[in-house]
């Protein structure tokens, strides 16, 4: 059975608090495990969440500020300590190659696993060997190079049982129709399109440190699940703009305009011990499923329509 959910490992921006670990987000997508922005403490949060290193298949870093990447060293060493049997692909801005290299070789350890680096120089599709989805990077607006990530599942075909029954199609004939795309029935050709409909693939988007820019809307467009930073509230909009961040209202407005189904707000400044303001502010603009993330929360990807 497929399992698609977001496991929130940490929700703090810049510095952790007593109740919020540094960033860390694991997207479980059937047999894939995509770890986004592992900040300090990610390895321990994985333990609390019941997530093992062997579940990781890809790591995606948006940018090389410490709260989004300092946990990378420990995660890489854990992948090797646990002898993860499959290759793990790592995505990150190419301009931060020196930081990736330092974190990868931060201390001495025995390499037993295969880590495949994919430095990103330009926005667009990313190489994702063996993935049942397309992965793309989109440029964001932050004081250092930053890329958001978008996962798109290809559309599929869903048979319409009522239409099959109406035409008297059953058993091996249905299998032949699916394989060949057409079948001869009572002197006429029946095509797959006549007895099926397109089932839209699911979409996931990850928008981290950025001010409002075209990339936010591009990532969010039609997403079933959008994870978006909401570092500040509207009262600090100028501060958000100056430091390359979003407010809860801006994230919610972008999600509403993009037709997002579920919006997850995260990456909260330590100045907000209480997040009821984030929920209230976002709800003014977004009427879909809204989650103000908490550490160790598990958020399902909405089922396909």
Running DSSP on this structure, what letter comes out for residue 146? -
CB 97 within 8 A of CB 144: no
Closest CA to 30 of 153, 124, 160, 161: 153
Residues in Cβ contact with 121 at an 8 Å cutoff, skipping those fewer than 6 apart: 94
Report the alpha-carbon distance of residue 27 to residue 33 in Å, rounded. 6
The 10 Å Cβ neighbour count of residue 161 is 12
Closest CA to 24 of 303, 297, 300: 297
67 among known catalytic residues: yes
Closest CA to 42 of 29, 66, 28: 66
Report the alpha-carbon distance of residue 285 to residue 154 in Å, rounded. 30
Name residue 138's beta-bridge partners.
Answer: 148
Q: CA–CA distance from 117 to each of 105, 128, 266 (Å)?
A: 13, 11, 27
CB 287 within 8 A of CB 256: yes
Report the alpha-carbon distance of residue 215 to residue 63 in Å, rounded. 15
Query: Looking at 30, 37, 67, 274, which residue is catalytic?
Result: 67
**What's the angle, vertex CA 218, arms to CA 226 and CA 262, rounded to 5?**
20
Residues with catalytic annotation? 67
């Amino acid at each position: 059975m497929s399992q698609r959910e977001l496991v929130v490992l940490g929700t703090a921006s810049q510095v952790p608090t007593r109740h919020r670990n540094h960033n860390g987000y694991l997207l479980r997508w059937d047999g894939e495990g995509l770890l986004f922005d592992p900040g300090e403490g990610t390895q321990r949060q994985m333990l609390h969440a019941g997530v093992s290193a062997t579940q990781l298949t890809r790591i995606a870093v948006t940018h090389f500020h410490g709260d989004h990447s300092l946990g990378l060293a420990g995660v890489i060493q854990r992948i090797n300590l646990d002898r993860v049997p499959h290759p793990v692909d790592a995505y990150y801005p190419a301009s931060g190659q020196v930081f990736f290299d330092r974190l990868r070789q931060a201390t001495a350890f025995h390499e037993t696993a295969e880590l495949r680096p994919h430095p990103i120089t330009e926005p667009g599709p990313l190489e994702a060997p063996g993935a049942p989805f397309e992965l793309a990077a989109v440029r964001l607006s932050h004081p250092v190079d930053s890329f958001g990530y978008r996962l798109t599942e290809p559309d599929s075909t869903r048979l319409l049982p009522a239409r099959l029954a109406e035409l008297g199609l059953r058993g091996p004939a249905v299998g032949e129709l699916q394989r060949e795309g057409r079948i001869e029935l009572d002197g006429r050709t029946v095509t797959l399109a006549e007895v099926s409909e397109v089932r839209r693939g699911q979409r996931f988007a990850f928008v981290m440190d950025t001010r409002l820019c075209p990339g936010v809307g591009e990532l969010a467009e039609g997403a079933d699940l959008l994870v978006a930073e909401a570092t500040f509230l509207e009262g600090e909009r100028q501060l958000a703009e100056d430091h390359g961040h979003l407010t809860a209202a801006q994230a919610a407005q972008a999600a509403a305009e993009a037709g997002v189904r579920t919006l997850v707000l995260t990456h909260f400044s330590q100045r907000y011990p209480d997040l009821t303001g984030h929920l209230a502010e976002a709800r003014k603009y977004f009427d879909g499923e809204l989650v103000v993330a908490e550490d160790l929360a598990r958020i399902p990807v909405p089922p396909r329509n």
